[in-house]
């Protein structure tokens, strides 16, 4: 019966490793990376995962072996107690310290690119984000490029940015600690009361879509609902009717390829059209699901400014 504990611990370790290997195939992994620096963060994560994974497998193997091998001593038989093995203690202390020092060294550049102010893009502040229980208040400078003027545009829980452009955001908190977390952008920065903290990133081409903003710091009873969205706008406003027509035309070509497949198959051309159709259909879907996303950031800002003026006049 005593040896059963060794088998149980081994089964638990094997099950954990199997779930880890199975998870990515089910989408239980990182969300899509849409930032230009995200691959550096992911690479650092995988390095640390490999180190800790090897340590986990090694320690579980030793644990299972010891439990299985030495749990069945005969009655009256005493175990041998070893008080210390200095060389082994020195070894694991040195190896652990060396691994931690190596990780600290390899992560410096990735950390500097997103945290050191000397690496911040030389652009004007795109928006001011004020965190507070339990919302994100976002202010854009308007067309004069200055904050705290009459043409500022204010929004709630929605950050609008242009694709492929360096974005600089000033982050602040009006009450308690919050954490500005953009999973798809691999950005997480604490918002501290009394401090204005710059946050910057750039999106990859073709990432026009909406992405989640969450608070990653327990900030009160409503922490669970403190979320928002990032809307990535195209460089130029997209003509939705023209895009719909293009999608329909590509679909007709695909249907034609299917009808003529038996007589004159052209797999290369068909694949080109299919890829183009899939890409444009995806763009149309994103723009349709997110009203206003097809507008360029400048056109969206102009529209938001006009709507704000209209509401002000009504009031």
Q: Where exactly are the structural domains of the chain?
A: 2-114, 123-233, 240-294
Sorting pLDDT into bands at 50, 70 and 90, what band is 224?
Answer: very high
pLDDT at 197 over 70: yes
The beta-strand segments (E) located in the chain are 127-132, 135-140, 153-156, 158-162, 167-173, 178-182, 187-191, 197-201, 210-215, 227-233
pLDDT for the residue 84: 77
Q: What is the CATH number of domain 2-114?
A: 1.10.287
Query: Among 7-16, 91-100, 165-174, 256-265, which range has the highest average pLDDT?
Result: 165-174
Out of 124-128, 182-186, 302-306, pick the least confident. Answer: 302-306
Strands 158-162 and 167-173: unpaired
Out of 66-75, 106-115, 219-228, 260-269, pick the least confident. Answer: 260-269
Backbone phi and psi for residue 214, each to the nearest 5 degrees, phi listed first: -135, 160
Distance CA 230, CA 228 (A): 7
Out of 46-50, 73-77, 197-201, 286-290, pick the least confident. Answer: 73-77
157 Cα distance to chain centroid = 17
Helix (H, G, I), strand (E, B) or coil at 229: strand
pLDDT for the residue 11: 87
Sorting pLDDT into bands at 50, 70 and 90, what band is 227?
Answer: very high
pLDDT at 278 over 60: yes
Distance CA 141, CA 132 (A): 20
| Architecture of the domain spanning 123-233 | Sandwich (2.60)
Is residue 125 within 8 Å of 141, Cβ to Cβ?
Answer: yes
Distance CA 278, CA 22 (A): 28
| Structure-model confidence comparison of residues 78 and 184, the more confident one | 184
311-314 contacts at long range (C-beta below 8 A, 24 or more positions apart):
none
pTM: 0.84
Mean of per-residue pLDDT scores for the chain: 88
Is residue 179 within 8 Å of 191, Cβ to Cβ?
Answer: yes
| Structure-model confidence comparison of residues 142 and 73, the more confident one | 142
What is the average pLDDT across 202-220? 94
């Amino acid at each position: 019966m005593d040896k059963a504990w060794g088998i149980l611990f081994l089964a638990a370790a094997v099950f954990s490793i199997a779930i880890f290997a199975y998870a990515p195939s089910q989408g239980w992994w990182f969300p899509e990376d849409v930032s230009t620096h995200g691959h550096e963060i992911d690479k650092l994560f995988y390095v640390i995962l490999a180190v800790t994974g090897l340590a986990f497998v090694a320690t579980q193997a030793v644990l299972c072996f010891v439990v299985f091998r030495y749990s069945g001593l005969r009655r009256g038989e005493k175990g041998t107690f070893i008080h210390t093995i200095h060389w082994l203690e020195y070894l694991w202390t040195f190896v652990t310290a060396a691994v931690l020092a190596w990780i600290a060294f390899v992560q410096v550049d990735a950390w500097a690119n997103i945290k050191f102010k000397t690496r911040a893009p030389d652009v004007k502040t795109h928006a001011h984000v004020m965190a507070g229980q339990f919302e994100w208040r976002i202010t854009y400078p308007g067309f004069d490029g200055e904050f705290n003027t009459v043409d500022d545009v204010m929004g709630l829980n929605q950050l609008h940015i242009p694709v492929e452009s360096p974005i600089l955001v000033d982050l602040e908190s009006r009450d308690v600690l919050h954490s500005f977390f953009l999973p798809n952008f691999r950005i997480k920065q604490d918002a501290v009361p009394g401090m204005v903290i710059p946050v910057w990133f750039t999106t990859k081409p073709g990432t026009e879509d909406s992405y989640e903003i969450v608070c990653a710091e327990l900030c009160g009873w409503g922490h669970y609902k403190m979320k928002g969205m990032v809307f990535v706008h195209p460089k130029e406003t997209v003509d939705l009717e023209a895009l719909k027509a293009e999608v329909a035309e590509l679909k007709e070509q695909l249907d034609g390829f299917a009808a003529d497949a038996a007589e004159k198959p052209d797999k290369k051309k068909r694949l080109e059209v299919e890829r183009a159709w899939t890409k444009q259909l995806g763009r149309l879907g994103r723009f349709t699901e997110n009203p206003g996303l097809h507008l360029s950031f400048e056109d969206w800002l102009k529209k938001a400014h006009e709507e704000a003026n209209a509401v002000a006049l009504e009031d």
